[in-house]
Chains A and B, each alone.
Chain A
Amino acid sequence: MKFTYTSNGQEHTLTLEKHGDGYRARIGEQTFEVELLGAENGAVHFRLDGVPHRARVALDGPQKRWVAVAGRTYTLEKSGPARRRGHDGGAGGGQVAAPMPGQIRAVLVAEGDEVVQGQPLLLMEAMKMEIRIAAPRAGIVAVLRAAVGATVNKDDVLVEIA
């Protein structure tokens, strides 16, 4: 079975195939012998080339995976055939996304406004912190999806600059 995960913009492809009592894993040029020792309550216990590992794994929605192993935590984005839209750079270009979850405190522009790079567009507040969201580049405010008092999630696109 083939699995593709993205982490920090880097794609990792892994194939896992049955091999004896366990699996053989292939990542790029490397192959590993994997023996599954146990899997319960979100814990995965396995031997990797004979070395025991105990990992905690959480499936967060259809694509996001959290893995804690050897004292470190990783977030992986599973790329499936299901969809690969909406992840092409997120807030790249003229899109302005919420850098944190929180509330919109002030909207400083309107649709159709011409803005210059660095011009404040919105004020957001979360957990006692106030931050200013500025235009990533000059242009016209084509779409404005923020109203004062609205609660938004991290990475929600709030403004599009054309």
Chain B
Amino acid sequence: MSDSITFISRAAPYGENNSKLCMDIALAAAVFEQKINYVFLDDGVYQLLSNQSPEAIASKPVGAALEAFDLYGIENVYVDKNSLSSRNLTQQELVIKAKVADSDLIAELIQNSKSVINL
């Protein structure tokens, strides 16, 4: 079995805390040199919108934090195709480069992982 950890981030930013928890765990896993897949699913794709300005609601921009993925060596970043299209979003609107993945590919990532964190 593979030793990678797959993260499925399903929460919109700001309205609830799960997007941040998911990211924090992934960054910690990256520090400990784990192989990581990071998948944005459902409302999680809203984290990827550019031009977020949450300062007025006393939050840090999630989009900017996602740019840290590169520094941490998290390269396998995916965004669910159906989640994008059902929200009228396109890949061009996203703040980081994420590979567009269909359900079959995400199912395969899950199958080939040691464990899955789904928040």
On whether the two chains bind one another, the answer is no
**B residues engaging A (CB < 8 A)?**
none
